[in-house]
Amino acid sequence: MSTRGTILLAIGMVILGLLLGALGGGVAGFLIGQNARPAVSQNTPAARMPVQPVQPLQQNTPAPANPRGLPPFANISGGARVEVVEKDSPAEKAGLKVGDVITAVGGTKLDTDHALADLIQARKPGEKVDLAVTRGSQTLTVSVELGASSEDSSKAYLGIHYTPMIPGGRFRFPGS
């Protein structure tokens, strides 16, 4: 074999090796990507909800129950979803429940300019305020007499832990 033939054979082998390596790497990367799960930040609401595998529903099979036992409700834009109602708090006395979504305080809608905490802190302890609340598919008005904060008695206290809902976004419980 001549020198020229040897060089062409070597170049051909290098090109073939590169193509096979790229093809093998692409297939391996695809397979690894199919098995990978996306990381969920601990600060997102999704991180606090149990992950349920998605299974196809059969015709006579009822939909899976809500993992938190909360009622499904219509899409809501903006608001604050109640996660915890503290015992003996003004919120508990007024009848707020876990899963309620507060959409307005005293007629002011919750949005990017009006956060629930800011609207409550603008009030005084003992002041009565009406909250617009969505519970399931119902819209309610709940009247609350605000308490005094244990940290600062001059600041108003509602007694809930909540997750802000992104204004303009939509929230829906899984399976609803």
Answer yes or no: are the C-beta atoms of 132 and 114 closer than 8 Å. no
Answer yes or no: are the C-beta atoms of 6 and 12 closer than 8 Å. no
Q: How many domains does the chain have?
A: 2
Closest CA to 134 of 93, 87, 80, 84: 80
In whole angstroms, what is the distance from residue 140 CA to residue 9 CA? 80
pTM for the predicted model, two decimal places: 0.53
Asked whether residue 17 falls in the same domain as residue 78, the answer is: no
Q: Terminal CA-to-CA distance of the chain, rounded, Å?
A: 73
Reported as a pLDDT band with limits 50, 70 and 90, residue 27 is confident
Asked whether residue 108 falls in the same domain as residue 157, the answer is: yes
Asked whether residue 30 falls in the same domain as residue 89, the answer is: no
The answer to whether residue 45 is domain-embedded is: no
The answer to whether residue 64 is domain-embedded is: no
Q: Is 61 helix (H, G, I), strand (E, B) or coil?
A: coil
Answer yes or no: are the C-beta atoms of 155 and 77 closer than 8 Å. no
The answer to whether residue 144 is domain-embedded is: yes
Each residue of 31-86: pLDDT tens digit? 877 776 555 444 544 444 455 555 555 545 444 444 445 444 444 567 889 999 99
Amino acid identity of 97? K
The answer to whether residue 85 is domain-embedded is: yes
The answer to whether residue 172 is domain-embedded is: no
Each residue of 104-127: pLDDT tens digit? 999 889 888 888 888 998 999 999
Asked whether residue 103 falls in the same domain as residue 150, the answer is: yes
Pick the more confident residue, 159 or 51.
159
- Which structural domain, as residue segments, surrounds residue 14? 1-36
Amino acid identity of 19? L
Pick the more confident residue, 22 or 33.
22
Answer yes or no: are the C-beta atoms of 58 and 86 closer than 8 Å. no
* CATH number of domain containing 106: 2.30.42.10
